[in-house]
Amino acid sequence: MGIISSGFRGRRSANPGLPPGQHETQDFPVLTAGPAPLIPIDEWEFFIAAENGQRLSWSWTEFMSLPQEEITKDIHCVTSWSKLETTWRGVSLDTLFENVDTTKDFATAHSFGGYTTNVPLWDLLGGKAWVAWEFDGEPLERAHGGPARLLIPHLYFWKSAKWIHGLELTEDDVPGFWESNGYHLHGNPWREERYS
Ligand SMILES: Nc1nc2c(c(=O)[nH]1)N[C@H]1C(S)=C(S)[C@@H](COP(=O)(O)O)O[C@H]1N2
Ligand SMILES: [Mo]
């Protein structure tokens, strides 16, 4: 038996704060498949659809009256850029799920414009995900998902659906847009879950 074990099997990044295969950028690249939808605030809503026709929804005014959190997190794009200590403001998914009664284990995030991505509920709850509407102290720019986007910083950034409309709870883990086009079903950057 070997006495010395490196204890590390994957690729290492130069910066230990970065997941394997990632490099740090100061920019904030825009990555969108298709045109950015324009959503007037008075037509905006966020919904959670569970079983038995249960559908909760919040207008912008209702959403803004919920408890708001300041978030500082690193974000990691599968195309290999990471941005460290980004600051956001938004509503925790824990708050939005307070009155949701479900036995489902997964969600499909639906964006205005048609983009979808799948996320296990376990990755949305427990202080891990937000509906964010402010970036770096300013209202979220439309190109980055304004008026509001999902923010799930512990998964690759394609899971953070821009122009978020709502979450549909599902029994199974149903591949979304990128997941149907070769991206990994889950997308944990620390395990390099990039492609399937
Ligand atoms: N609605 C929507 N959300 C989306 C996308 C998209 O094309 N449409 N692209 C995803 C991808 S692949 C990435 S890397 C991030 C990019 O976010 P950014 O443009 O703010 O950097 O948004 C994700 N969310
Ligand atoms: Mo991406």
Residue 104 forms part of a structural domain: yes
61 Cα–ligand 1 center, Å? 25
DSSP per residue over 47-69, as a string? EEE-STT-EEEEEHHHHHTSPPE
In tens, the pLDDT along 75-104 reads 999 999 999 999 999 999 999 999 999 999
Q: What is the mean pLDDT of the chain?
A: 93
pLDDT band of residue 9 (cuts 50, 70, 90) is very low
Of 82, 86, 158, best ligand 1 pocket probe by most atoms within 8 Å of the beta carbon: 158
Distances (CA, A) of 18 to 83, 97, 188: 9, 31, 13
CATH classification of the domain holding 59 = 3.90.420.10
Ligand 1 lined by 124 (C-beta under 6 Å): no
Ligand 1 lined by 30 (C-beta under 6 Å): yes
Ligand 1 lined by 183 (C-beta under 6 Å): no
Q: Which single residue is written with the structure tokens 């498949």? A: 33
Residue 118 forms part of a structural domain: yes
pLDDT attached to residue 157: 98
Structure tokens at 130: 């937000």
Nearest CA to ligand 1 atom 11: 158
CA angle (127 as vertex; 125, 132 as ends), nearest 5: 95
Ligand 1 lined by 127 (C-beta under 6 Å): no
Show the domain range for 65.
44-191
pLDDT attached to residue 12: 54
Structure tokens at 188: 């944990």
pLDDT attached to residue 6: 41
Cβ burial of 33 (10 Å; 0-12, 13-18, 19+) is exposed
CA angle (62 as vertex; 59, 66 as ends), nearest 5: 135
User: What percent of the chain is predicted at pLDDT more than 70?
Assistant: 93
Residue 10: pLDDT above 60?
no
Structure tokens at 45: 């809503």
Ligand 1 lined by 163 (C-beta under 6 Å): yes
Q: What is the pTM of this model?
A: 0.94
Residue 196 forms part of a structural domain: no
Q: Is 54 helix (H, G, I), strand (E, B) or coil?
A: coil
Residue 9 forms part of a structural domain: no
Residue 39 forms part of a structural domain: no
Residue 167 forms part of a structural domain: yes
Ligand 1 lined by 80 (C-beta under 6 Å): no
The ligand whose atoms approach the alpha carbon of 115 most closely is 1
Residue 77 forms part of a structural domain: yes
Mean pLDDT of 59-70: 98
Structure tokens at 58: 């919040």
Assess contact for 170 and 108: CB atoms under 8 A: yes
E strand or H helix at 124: helix 121-124
Our count of domains for the chain comes to: 1
In tens, the pLDDT along 42-56 reads 999 999 999 999 999
Assess contact for 85 and 72: CB atoms under 8 A: yes
- Span of 2-11, 57-66, 146-155, 186-195 with lowest mean pLDDT: 2-11
Residue 7: pLDDT above 90?
no
Residue 126 forms part of a structural domain: yes
